C-alpha cells in the first residue's frame, strides 16, 4: 500500500517552463524528466523535496510546496537510477547502433550552391551521430575535435557540412525532446574516455536550445577533462549569429 504524508515536494508551473532541461541536471535522484517539451516530476517517491533544482530554472517555474504526497523512498530511487543506467547502455539492435568510419570525400562544395542532381557530397566521416547511440569508446572520438549540434541546426544552416564538419567528429542531440540527463551522462563519459581535443556546441537561438550549452559545460566539469570550448548560435533564419 502506498503511504502518503504531508511533506515538501517540487511543483512545476508548466505555463512558465520552456523545457530547457537545466533542472534535470541538478536532480541527483532522477525525479525530473523532459516530457512533451516540459519538465515533469515522474514520481513523487523520487523527490526528496530539498529543492536542488530551484536555482537551476531560469524561468522560475519550480517551487517547493508542502502538500500530501507519497513518501520519499531512497531504495526506489537507487533502483530507478540503476534501471536508467542499464537502459542507457542497451543497444537498440538496429544498424544505426553499429559504429562505422569511412573516408571523407576530397572535393568540397561551395556554400550556398543550389541543390542539383549532382549535389555536394557529404562531409560526414562516421556513423552513428546521435549522442544516444554513440559509445564513449567509439574510435572516431579518440583525440578528436568534436562538434555537438542541436538536431535542427543542419536543417537551418545551409553551410553546415562545409563550415562545421571538416576534420571534426559529429554528435547530434536535442536538449528539449531527448533524455537530457542521459545525454549529459553520456557526454561526461565521452569526455572521460576519449581524450577529446576540443568541443564546439552549435545550437539554435531559441531559449530551450541553449540547454545544450549548459549540458556540455556541466559534462566538462563532471568529467574533469577541461578542454577548449566554443559556442555558436544559429538563428531560425539560418544566419550565423555568434562565435
For the segment 6-26, what is each residue's pLDDT rounded down to a tens digit?
Answer: 999 999 999 998 877 778 777
Q: Is residue 93 scored above 50 in pLDDT?
A: no
Average pLDDT, the chain: 84
Q: In Å, how far from its chain's centre is CA 175?
A: 5
Of 26-35, 46-55, 100-109, 180-189, give the lowest mean pLDDT range.
100-109
C-beta pairs of 215-223 under 8 Å, 24+ apart in sequence: 215/21, 215/25, 215/173, 215/175, 215/180, 215/183, 215/184, 215/187, 216/148, 216/187, 218/25, 218/184, 219/184, 219/187, 219/188, 219/190, 219/191, 220/191, 222/184, 222/188, 223/188, 223/189, 223/191, 223/192
Q: Is residue 238 scored above 50 in pLDDT?
A: yes
Q: Is residue 92 scored above 50 in pLDDT?
A: no
Q: 85 pLDDT band (50/70/90 cuts)?
A: low
pLDDT of residue 97: 46
Average pLDDT rounded to a whole number, residues 162-172: 94
Sorted by sequence, the CB contacts under 8 Å of residue 3 that are 6+ apart come out as 70, 71
pLDDT of residue 170: 97
pLDDT tens-digit map of 203-233: 999 888 989 999 999 999 999 989 999 999 9
Cα(178)–Cα(34) distance, integer angstroms: 7
Q: Is residue 243 scored above 70 in pLDDT?
A: no
What is the set of domains in the chain, with CATH numbers? 4-89 (3.30.70.20), 95-107+120-242 (3.40.50)
Residue from 210, 158, 136 nearest 180 by CA: 210
Cα(94)–Cα(97) distance, integer angstroms: 6
Identify which has the larger pLDDT, 16 or 112: 16
pTM: 0.60
Amino acid at each position: 500500500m502506498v503511504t502518503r504524508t504531508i511533506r515538501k515536494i517540487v511543483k512545476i508551473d508548466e505555463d512558465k517552463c520552456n523545457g530547457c532541461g537545466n533542472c534535470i541536471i541538478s536532480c541527483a535522484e532522477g525525479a525530473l524528466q523532459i516530457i512533451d517539451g516540459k519538465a515533469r516530476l515522474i514520481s513523487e517517491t523520487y523527490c526528496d523535496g530539498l529543492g536542488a533544482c530551484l536555482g537551476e530554472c531560469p524561468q522560475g517555474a519550480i517551487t517547493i510546496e508542502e502538500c500530501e504526497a507519497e513518501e520519499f523512498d531512497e531504495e526506489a530511487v537507487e533502483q530507478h537510477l540503476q534501471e536508467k543506467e542499464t537502459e542507457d547502455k542497451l543497444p537498440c539492435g538496429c544498424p544505426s547502433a553499429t559504429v562505422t568510419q569511412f573516408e571523407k570525400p576530397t572535393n568540397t562544395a561551395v556554400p550556398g550552391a543550389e541543390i542539383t542532381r549532382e549535389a555536394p557530397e557529404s562531409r560526414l566521416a562516421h556513423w552513428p551521430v546521435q549522442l544516444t547511440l554513440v559509445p564513449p569508446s567509439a574510435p572516431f572520438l579518440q583525440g578528436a575535435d568534436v562538434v555537438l549540434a542541436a538536431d535542427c541546426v543542419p536543417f537551418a544552416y545551409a553551410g553546415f557540412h562545409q563550415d562545421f564538419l571538416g576534420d571534426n567528429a559529429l554528435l547530434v542531440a536535442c536538449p528539449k525532446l531527448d533524455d537530457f540527463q542521459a545525454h549529459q551522462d553520456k557526454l561526461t563519459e565521452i569526455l572521460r574516455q576519449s581524450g577529446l581535443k576540443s568541443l564546439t556546441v552549435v545550437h539554435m537561438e531559441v531559449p530551450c536550445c541553449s540547454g545544450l550549452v549548459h549540458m556540455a559545460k556541466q559534462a566538462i566539469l563532471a568529467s574533469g577533462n577541461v578542454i577548449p570550448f566554443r559556442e555558436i548560435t544559429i538563428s531560425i533564419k539560418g544566419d550565423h549569429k555568434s562565435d
